[in-house]
Structures are given as structure tokens and as C-alpha cells.
Amino acid sequence: MTAAEPAASQDIAPSPGARRPPVPASARAAQPTQPTQPTQPTQPTQPTQPTQPTQPTQPTQPTQPTQPTQPTQPTQPTQPTQPTQPTQPTQPTQPTQPTQPTQPTQPTQPTQPTQLAQLAQPAQPAQPAQPAQPAQPAQPAQPAQPARGASAPRREPPAAPAGTPAKAADPPWSRAGAARSATAAPPVCTDHQPADASTRSQRVIDVLLGYLPADRRGRIREYLVLMRMDRPIGALLLLWPTWWALWFAANDFPPVGLLVIFTLGVFVMRAAGCVINDYADHDWLDAKVQRTRGRPMAAGRVSKQEALALFGGLLALAFVLVLFTNTLTILLSFVGAALAAIYPFTKRVTHLAQVVLGAAFGWSIPMAFAAVTGSLPPLCWLLFLANVLFSVIYDTEYAMVDREEDIRVGARSTAILFGDADLPILGVLMVTFVFAMLLAGTRAALPWPYFVGLAAAAGLFAWQQWIMRDRARAPCLAAFRNNNWVGFVLWAGLLLALAIR
């Protein structure tokens, strides 16, 4: 094939409006036999076409990158310059398109692949424009939206990096925790039974109330709950020091009459102290604390007048019991009644309310010595000071249960005063109490069983420290109740020591 043959083929090209006649089957079969394809190296003469250099202006078409989604539109860019290309849409119908690589003999068709390549190549550089998406970080400008509306949204603190451990909340007894608790909403009073009531004691109360008329049982039950008869742990904590004093004062088994009087007096005075305590705390403290909001006065089931009448009746009964003792004991009883009445109100003015409670609970010790010996020896005051320490220990543990609510309400206690140093300070108080009881035993010249009981009490204190190490509510309440066994083992050791001497 000569160079003139392509020109001749261009002269006979059909016009744009003319329809190309179908190719005979014989001619189609003959196309694969074109051995002239090796003559393609003569195509380098195509650079003589001066009109093709105008195709580089097509890079302005990169604005059409969206057209590749239309499979039939890629031919449109070539229509302005090549009128023969409209015939190409018929090529997809030719099953012999795999033979199209032989069509490069047509000078105009070889340019089409290049044009498509040129269109494809500009489109590819346009794809890197997608990295413009990182402009999305400009979305933080959304906080400007508050300019449209009424109020600005609350700005959240920046999120902590991944893997950063969460900061532990400040304990409620710390300064930050106290500020947080002060703004917390108080719990709603919906309970009708104290959370720390003893199930066993309630069953005993139910048995006793079974002997009363049915229409009186409900009211008497409220009075018994107000006197804490459903929780005898407090009476036992008051009973053990009283028995210590009776046995120490008698230096043997005490007189039975005094033992009965002081045992009954412990329960009566403890009931009177609980009534006046609820009278003082029912509106400003008990109703806002989860553990105590079910108490009769806090829940509104017992009025103030009923509480005062009950308190006066209990004081009168205790005074009747004291009348069976001597004059010194009767005089000391007035001091004990005053301490019991003052204690509930000290929680509003001082953090040392537990010290006042220890003096009120421990005042039975001077009264016991006065009833047995008619005097107040130094051993009496040593036991009194030891009992004040003992009361501060167990009532601080008790106050640790409600420390967060007490901070919110504004109550004061040694648990709040000690703060983060509560356990070390309790440890010092425990050691001091054990040492005071050790001095009392050596002063009374007691034999070894007493000191065995004292060692058991020290072991119980160590166990309390262990279970309270996390300062959780339930362990602190369990430690408070465990002091009942501390008082018991000390009394048991004293009893055995005096029995074998």
C-alpha cells in the first residue's frame, strides 16, 4: 500500500448525512485477511496532518468528567472536527469489534483512541481534587449557629485521647466532692420503712403486737420503730460499756438489782435518745438521706407533738428506775438526760457531735460506779474516756455511710471532719482505745482472760479497717455493727477474768 491510498480513501468518504451501506458478509470475512497491517509503520506520516495539533485544546474539556457516566457521550467532543465519527455508534453492534485493532488503517480513527485517552488522562488529574474533602474540618465553625437562635449551646470539653484512663471522681468528703454534693438534688421520700431495719427484730415486734387489739397495732408499731426497737444494735453498743462499769466497780458479779435497773435503763434511755434525735433531724436531715427517709417522723407518720410526748414519757420511766439507787446516782442522772437531749442538735454546729454522743452514751459508767461503790474513782473516769473513744470510732463509721448526703444537707460529723484521713485517724483511735482498756485491766489487776478478750477486740478492729479500705457504704455499715462484738469480747474477757480470780 502506498501513501496515496489513504488520501484516496478520504476522497470517497461518505457525507455526514449519507448512510453507510451494509458490508457484505463476504467482505467481512475478507477483513481478517488484510495482511497489509504490517504497513502501519508508515503511519508516522500522520504528523503531516496539521489540523490534529489543534486537539491539545481539548484539555479544556476536563469540566466534562461527569460525562464518562454516559457511555454514548464520549463521541460528542469529536463531532466538531470529525464528521465521520457519528458512524462509530454502529461499531458496538459489530461482534467483530475485537478485530477493530486492524482499523488503524483509517487515518482518522487512530486519533479517536488518542482523543479518548486524552479525555481520560485529564479526568484522572481531576480526581486528586477529591482531597479537597479535608476542608470538612471547617465544620467546627458550626458553633457560630448560636448567632441565629436564642441561646448558645453548652460547649462540651474536648474528648480525651484514646487510651487515656478516665479520671476518678473526687470522693464526696473531699472539697471538690463536697461542692458537687452540695448541688445534687435530694432524694424523694417515698419509702415507708427504714433501710437499715433488722428483719429479725421486726419479726419479734410482730409477735409482740399480735397480743394487742388490731386497731392499735399500726400506731404502736410506729412508736416502736421511732424508738429504734427494730434495730437493737444501738442499745447493745450502750449496754456493753455499762456492764463493763458494773463488773469493774463490783470487782465481781454486780448486785442483781442494779444489773436489772441499769439494763432496763439502757434500753429506755437509748429509746428516748432516738426519739429526740428524730425530732431534731426529721425535716432537715432524715427526709433528705436515703437510709433514713423512711423513719416515722421523716415520712410524716408521727407528729412532733407525739414525739415530744413519747420522749417525756421515756425520761419519766428512766427517772423512776434511778429512784431505786442512791442520791449520787440520781444527781448524775440529770447530767445524762441533758447530754442525751443536747446531742442531736450539736450536728448543726460542730463536727465533734460524736464526742458528745460518746459522753452521753458513756455517762452510764459514772452512774454505775456511783450506784455500786457510792464514789467516782479514777478507774471510773479511765473507763469513761475509753468509752468516748469507742463511741467516736463506731459512730464515725456509721457517719461514713451517709457522708455524701450529710455534706449536701449541711450536717456535720467526724466523718466529714476527718475527710480522706478517716481510716488513719480511726486506726489511731482504735489503738488508743485498746491501750486505755489495757490500763484499766492492769489497774484492776485482772488475770489473763481479760487480755485475751482485749487481743480479740484488737483483731476485730483490724478486720474493720480491712473491710472499710474502699469506704463503700455497705462495708462501713458492717464495720459499725461489728463493734457489738468488740464490746462483747471485752465483757466476756472481763467476766472470765473475775470468775477465775
pTM for this entry: 0.62
Indicate the average pLDDT of the chain: 74
Taking only the tens place, the pLDDT of each residue in 410-435 is 888 999 999 999 999 999 999 999 99
Residue 111 forms part of a structural domain: no
Confidence band (pLDDT; 50, 70, 90) for 484?
Answer: very high
Q: Quote the DSSP letter at residue 245.
A: H
Query: Are 225 and 240 contained in the same domain?
Result: no
Query: Are 462 and 441 contained in the same domain?
Result: yes
Residue with cell 474539556: 61
Q: Report phi then psi at 52, rounded to 5.
A: -65, -30
Query: Are 322 and 376 contained in the same domain?
Result: yes
Query: Are 274 and 385 contained in the same domain?
Result: yes
Q: Report phi then psi at 424, rounded to 5.
A: -60, -40
Amino acid 107: pLDDT? 45
CA distance 242 to 2: 134
Neighbours of 61 (CB within 10 A): 16
Query: Are 312 and 219 contained in the same domain?
Result: no
Residue 491 forms part of a structural domain: yes
Residue 483 forms part of a structural domain: yes
Taking only the tens place, the pLDDT of each residue in 337-396 is 999 999 989 988 899 999 999 999 999 999 999 999 999 999 999 999 999 999 999 999
- Long-range contacts of range 97-103, CB-CB < 8 Å, 24 or more positions apart? 99/31, 99/32, 102/31, 102/32, 102/34, 102/37
The two most distant CA atoms of the chain are separated, in Å, by: 150
Query: Are 328 and 435 contained in the same domain?
Result: yes
Confidence band (pLDDT; 50, 70, 90) for 197?
Answer: low
Residue 372 forms part of a structural domain: yes
Query: Are 391 and 242 contained in the same domain?
Result: yes
Amino acid 38: pLDDT? 45
Query: Are 374 and 259 contained in the same domain?
Result: yes
Query: Are 452 and 318 contained in the same domain?
Result: yes
CA distance 395 to 355: 9
Residue 435 forms part of a structural domain: yes
How many domains in the chain? Answer: 2
- Long-range contacts of range 123-127, CB-CB < 8 Å, 24 or more positions apart? 123/62, 123/65, 123/68, 125/62, 126/62, 126/65
Domain that holds residue 290: 232-500
| 8 A C-beta contact, residue 438 and residue 454 | yes
Average pLDDT on 386-409 reads: 92
Counted residue by residue, the chain has a size of 501
Neighbours of 308 (CB within 10 A): 13
Query: Are 274 and 420 contained in the same domain?
Result: yes
Higher pLDDT, 208 or 65: 208
Buried b (16+ CB within 10 A) or exposed e, 426-440: bbebbeebbebbbeb
